Amino acid sequence: MEISLHQASVRNDPEQLNRLLHKDFHEIGSSGASYSKADTVESLPLQRSRVDILARNFKLTVISKDACLLVYEASQSSRDGAPRQYARRSSIWKHEAGVWQMLFHQGTPTRPFDPD
């Protein structure tokens, strides 16, 4: 589910974003800015997925029977040739009403790493 949020077909589709993001979704972006679900569902499709995201080194920690924490590294490159950005990302996924949804996400800038 995390990887699907990196795909243009999902990032550009408000219906899929609404399905994957919890009603109380909150994000702290790599700039330090804070975003709600409404902010995200409105802004992501406007980007028209001009980025490619490569994720690796996933580590999943079960917090409770209905919540887990996913931590990983990601590099993001723009299709217009802008420099690649690197981050450590973390997401909390919550199981509610029979479905898993992302409740929280944060990206923290990091030094470049070899994208393998």
Structure pTM?
0.89
CA distance 113 to 110: 8
Q: What is the arrangement of strands in the sheet containing 85-96, beginning at the earlier edge strand?
A: 34-36, 21-28, 99-109, 85-96, 67-78, 51-64
Measured CA to CA, the distance from residue 41 to residue 27 in angstroms comes to 12
Does the domain at 3-109 match CATH 2.40.10.10? Answer given as: no
User: How does strand 21-28 pair with strand 99-109?
Assistant: parallel
Span 16-75, pLDDT tens digits: 999 999 999 999 988 889 999 999 999 887 775 567 888 999 999 999 999 999 999 999
Q: How many CA atoms lie within 13 A of 28 on its CB side?
A: 9
